[in-house]
Amino acid sequence: MPLAKFTWPVRVYYEDTDAGGVVYHSNYLNFMERARTEWLRALGFEQTELKDSHGVIIVVHSLSISFKKPAYFNDVLEIHCDIVKIGHGSIELAQTITRNGELLINAHVKAAFVNAATFKPLGIPAQIKQAMLN
């Protein structure tokens, strides 16, 4: 089964850093969220459309993250999304952040598909699952 791989570039701005010019730890989560959003967009799905037309939102169920090396102000980072597993109602992604091929962050993210009104779990809509498999 082919698994989707995606990379999104992010430049580190001053607002992303602490007083020492190092990316503040929680901002890596923002970078990974942006990459997942752009990955869905590249697959042909806007999150607002999924919510408005299908009543589905995607939420982070759990994540683990390892900080290997820091990123700094003005770095250009590559945020990678690689599908590890597609379940009935969730996906698991390996997300890494690199700078010029050097590993900075290693993360595992589980995202669940839920009803937008009730937050109860749902199966992944067939068209989305199919797009992820191609």
The Cα 7–Cα 10 span in angstroms is 10
Task: State the catalytic residue, choosing from 16, 18, 52, 75.
Answer: 18
End-to-end CA distance of the chain: 9
Structure tokens at 62: 């759990």
52 classed as catalytic: no
**117 CB contacts (<8 Å, ≥6 apart)?**
55
Task: Give the residue numbers annotated as catalytic, written as ranges.
Answer: 18
